[in-house]
Amino acid sequence: VPGAKFMPSFRNRLWDGKIRLFDIRNNQIYVGLSEYIYKFATAKKYTISGGVRTPLEIDNADVISFIDGLKSTVKIRDYQ
């Protein structure tokens, strides 16, 4: 990380200044990377086991009906 040497956690020697995508302590990885991992594993013919989640696909009509059901006084604009 650029400028990590100025951060308090780096100065107190609690962090080495590197961002890690995989947590070795509890074997977790960011859920946003699961699609890339799945593509990589299938391309290399690896077997995947465990709690691999597929991205949730939500229809816009479902979202609009949910928002309308909230009966909020705040009006949602088209760009939100």
At 8 the pLDDT is 93
pLDDT, tens only, 54-75: 667 888 899 889 888 888 888 7
At 13 the pLDDT is 92
Where do the structural domains in the chain lie, given as residue ranges? 22-80
At 67 the pLDDT is 84
pLDDT, tens only, 35-54: 888 889 889 999 887 766 66
pLDDT at 27 over 90: no
Q: Minimal CA–CA distance to 16: which of 24, 7, 29, 27?
A: 7
DSSP assignment of 2-57, as one string?
TTGGGSHHHHTTS--S---SEETTTTEE-GGGHHHHHHHHHHTT----S-PPPPPP
pLDDT at 12 over 80: yes
